[in-house]
Amino acid sequence: MTPSRMRSAVIAAIYLLFFVLLHSSSAFGVNAPMKVIVTGAAGRTGKLVFSCLIEDPRFQAVGLVRTEKSAKKLVKTTKCGLDHVIVSDVTELFTENGNGIPKGLDGAEAIVICTSAVPAISKRSVVKAMLKIPFNVVRGKKAFNFRDLRFLYKPGQYPEKVDFEGQIAQIDLAKKLGMRQVVIVSSMGGTDPSNFLNSIGKDKDGNGNGDILLWKRKAEKYLIESDLEYTIIHPGGLRKEATAPEELVLDIDDKLLKNEKRSISREDVAQLCLAALTVGRGKRVSFDCIAREVEEGKTVKSAEEALTEFLETGKTADYSL
């Protein structure tokens, strides 16, 4: 072989090597990180899911938040770059006034939905409850009755809009972007229309914009009727991480509501979302979860182990209930 032919062969071999490295990194055992969209990423659970994902080299996270203010909050708390955050109101995604698919979401393989309508305390109800204090004291009753407080949703940001229409829009977004998997952080209690949470946003006569659990469940039904892979997580009451060791308990159809303690930390829920993106891939499952205190020194299963064990049972929520 002449020296020039030799040089051409070497150059061709180098090009080939670069091509293979670029297009087939998995052939060398290096998997490209999975791009995941986290919505409600500035919320209390969404922020934890987003933080876990940006610290994990297996994932490339994009946070979707409702406002510029939430975007700044997320950048500040997680120290992520602004390019990891997209501002979009999920109730406006595919409406007439909406801008359609936000830029920067192409190539995402999964979406973790952590959005939710957020009730705020009615100031008027606070004033009313305060004015009642002297009368309650005179009558020997509890001075401040928390039951007098009312919680309301902001106009256009009530459960039917955010937890139903907004979630449908996010599921449609997943379909339009060709994603495979949807993970939803929902809530336990969806089988019971008389659950207290459904009364938030309604007046004494039951009028108003409430029924958060019912709207969430309706959106979940839309998802399970699709061809997408999904993990729907119904946590019990959300709280901070416990100081004592805890184990995850997973079940279905609100059976865990019978427990006296039925809460779970947002950290545990975030870990279950990550588990959904790994061991839950390719699955279609919906379950409830709480955390139970265990004695010091007991080995506690990780979220991935707990979800793997649960998946082996073949159980999933019954949406005909």
Rule CB under 6 A: which residues touch ligand NAP? 40, 42-46, 65-67, 70, 89-91, 114-116, 118, 157, 162, 166, 185-187, 235, 237-238, 266
Nearer of residues 42 and 275 to ligand NAP, judged by Cβ: 42
User: Shortest distance, CB of residue 17 to ligand NAP, whole angstroms?
Assistant: 45
User: Shortest distance, CB of residue 237 to ligand NAP, whole angstroms?
Assistant: 4
Nearer of residues 186 and 271 to ligand NAP, judged by Cβ: 186
User: Are 254 and 200 a contacting pair, CB within 8 Å?
Assistant: no
Reduced to 3 states (helix: H, G, I; strand: E, B; else coil), residue 97 is: coil
User: Shortest distance, CB of residue 46 to ligand NAP, whole angstroms?
Assistant: 6
User: Shortest distance, CB of residue 67 to ligand NAP, whole angstroms?
Assistant: 5
Nearer of residues 101 and 238 to ligand NAP, judged by Cβ: 238
Identify whether 187 is a catalytic site residue. Answer: yes
Nearer of residues 33 and 156 to ligand NAP, judged by Cβ: 156
Q: Which member of 187, 263, 265, 286 is catalytic? A: 187
What torsion, rounded to 10 degrees, do the Cα atoms 133, 136, 140, 144 define? -50
End-to-end Cα, the chain, rounded Å: 77
Cβ partners under 8 Å of residue 100, min gap 6 = 93, 94
User: Shortest distance, CB of residue 184 to ligand NAP, whole angstroms?
Assistant: 8
Structure tokens at 105: 């979401």
User: Are 231 and 180 a contacting pair, CB within 8 Å?
Assistant: no
Residue nearest ligand NAP by beta-carbon distance: 43
Burial of 41 (0-12, 13-18, 19+ CB in 10 A): buried
Nearer of residues 136 and 199 to ligand NAP, judged by Cβ: 199
User: Are 86 and 149 a contacting pair, CB within 8 Å?
Assistant: no
| Cα–Cα distance for residue pair 275/48, rounded to 1 Å | 14
Q: For residue 119, report the phi and psi dihedrals to the nearest 5 degrees.
A: -75, 145
**Residues with catalytic function:** 187
